[in-house]
C-alpha cells in the first residue's frame, strides 16, 4: 500500500525538490526512488526489523531512509552532498532514530561509526541505493574492512549485480565475482525498472543481497596474493590461463616453472580464467605463493 505522505512518490519528491530548488549532480550519480512498493521490497529482502540497526549510503532526500526508520531500531546514513543535509533534517524530522553523517563513505571509518551507534550484539545491515559510478569501490571497501555487519542489500546496475552473483563458465563471472563471493553469499533478489527513479537512469537496476560468511569458503596463504593472481587470470579474458600467468609473472617466474606448477595442482593451462571455480583459484594461488 502506498502512503501519499511517503517521500517515495513522484508528487512528494517534486515538492521537496522544488522547495529546496535542488538540482541533480550528475557527478554524484543521483537518482531518487519514487516508488514506495520497491522500497518495501528492499526492506523485506534486507531482513530489517525493530531488533536491527541499519547503515545507509547516499540517502538523497530520504526515501529509503524513511522506510528504514519505520522498520529498524536505528539508522545511520552517510550522505556526501552537503546540500542535502538540511533537506534530510526536514524530510526525516519526524523520526528520532535517524542519524545523518555528512561524509564520503569511501573516506569514512565505518567500523568506528558502527561501534559508536549500535550495541555489539545488535545485527546491523547495510541497505542502500548506490550511485552506479562508484558501486564497486564502495562494496569492496565494506567487504575488505570485514565490518561487523550481517548483510548488505544494495540497489545497483543490473549487469554489475549479475557479475557479483555469477558462477563459473558464465560471461559475467570474473575477478569481481570471486572478490565478492569470498566474503559473502551473493544473490540477485529482484530487478527494478528505470521508471521508478527520478531522474530516470539509462540502465535497469537489480537488488543484490550479500550475506556475510562466517569465514571464507576457501583457505588461502595470502589474501592479497590470491586476489592479485585472480585479477591476472582474467587480465585478457580470451587468453588461456597459461598465457595470462606468463604475462603476469614475466621476469619473476619462468614459463617452465609456471607449467610445472599448473601440472602439480592438476589445472590445465589451456583453460580460461572463467572456467576455474574459487577452490581451484585458491589451490593455484597457494602453489605459486609457496613457490615464492
* Residue 56 marked in a binding site: no
- At a CB cut-off of 8 Å and minimum separation 6, what does 90 contact? none
Angle made by CA atoms 12, 17, 23, in degrees to the nearest 5: 150
**Can you tell me the distance from the alpha carbon of 127 to that of 123, in angstroms, rounded to the nearest whole number?**
13
Q: Reduce the DSSP state of residue 226 to 3 states and report it.
A: helix
Cα dihedral 189, 131, 127, 103, rounded to 10, equals: 170
* Residue 286 marked in a binding site: no
Q: Which of 102, 260, 113, 227 is nearest to 126 (CA)?
A: 113
* Residue 159 marked in a binding site: no
**Can you tell me the distance from the alpha carbon of 290 to that of 101, in angstroms, rounded to the nearest whole number?**
45
Q: Which of 29, 30, 91 is nearest to 63 (CA)?
A: 91
Cis upstream peptide for 199 (omega within 30°):
yes
The torsion angles phi and psi of 168, rounded to 5 degrees, stand at -55, 160
* Residue 129 marked in a binding site: yes
* Residue 79 marked in a binding site: yes
**Can you tell me the distance from the alpha carbon of 6 to that of 135, in angstroms, rounded to the nearest whole number?**
26
- Residue 206 is placed in which grid cell? 537489480
Question: Annotated binding site for S-adenosyl-L-methionine: which residue ranges?
Answer: 31, 33, 58, 79, 104, 129
Question: Annotated binding site: which residue ranges?
Answer: 31, 33, 58, 79, 104, 129
Amino acid at each position: 500500500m502506498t502512503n501519499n505522505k511517503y517521500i517515495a512518490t513522484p508528487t512528494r519528491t517534486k515538492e521537496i525538490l522544488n522547495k529546496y530548488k535542488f538540482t541533480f549532480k550528475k557527478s554524484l550519480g543521483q537518482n531518487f526512488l519514487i516508488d514506495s512498493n520497491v522500497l518495501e521490497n528492499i526492506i523485506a529482502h534486507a531482513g530489517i526489523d525493530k531488533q536491527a540497526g541499519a547503515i545507509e549510503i547516499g540517502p538523497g532526500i530520504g526515501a529509503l531512509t524513511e522506510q528504514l526508520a519505520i522498520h529498524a531500531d536505528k539508522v545511520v546514513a552517510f550522505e556526501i552532498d552537503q546540500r542535502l543535509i538540511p533537506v534530510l533534517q526536514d524530510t526525516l524530522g519526524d523520526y528520532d532514530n535517524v542519524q545523518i553523517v555528512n561524509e564520503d563513505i569511501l573516506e569514512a571509518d565505518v567500523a568506528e561509526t558502527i561501534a559508536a551507534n549500535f550495541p555489539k550484539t545488535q545485527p546491523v545491515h547495510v541497505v542502500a541505493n548506490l550511485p552506479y559510478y562508484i558501486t564497486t569501490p564502495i562494496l569492496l571497501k565494506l567487504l575488505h574492512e570485514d565490518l561487523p555487519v550481517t548483510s548488505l542489500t544494495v540497489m545497483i546496475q543490473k549487469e554489475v549485480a549479475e557479475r557479483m552473483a555469477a558462477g563459473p563458465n558464465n560471461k559475467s563471472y570474473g575477478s569481481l565475482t570471486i572478490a565478492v563471493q569470498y566474503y559473502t553469499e551473493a544473490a540477485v533478489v529482484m530487478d527494478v525498472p528505470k521508471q521508478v527513479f527520478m531522474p530516470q537512469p539509462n540502465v535497469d537496476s537489480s537488488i543484490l543481497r550479500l550475506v556475510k560468511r562466517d569465514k571464507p569458503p576457501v583457505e588461502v596463504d595470502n589474501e592479497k596474493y590470491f586476489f592479485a593472481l585472480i585479477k591476472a587470470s582474467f587480465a585478457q579474458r580470451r587468453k588461456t590461463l597459461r598465457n595470462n600467468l606468463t604475462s603476469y609473472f614475466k621476469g619473476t617466474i619462468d614459463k617452465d616453472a609456471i607449467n610445472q606448477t599448473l601440472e602439480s595442482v592438476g589445472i590445465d593451462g589451456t583453460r580460461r580464467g572463467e572456467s576455474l571455480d574459487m577452490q581451484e583459484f585458491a589451490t593455484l594461488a597457494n602453489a605459486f605463493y609457496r613457490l615464492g
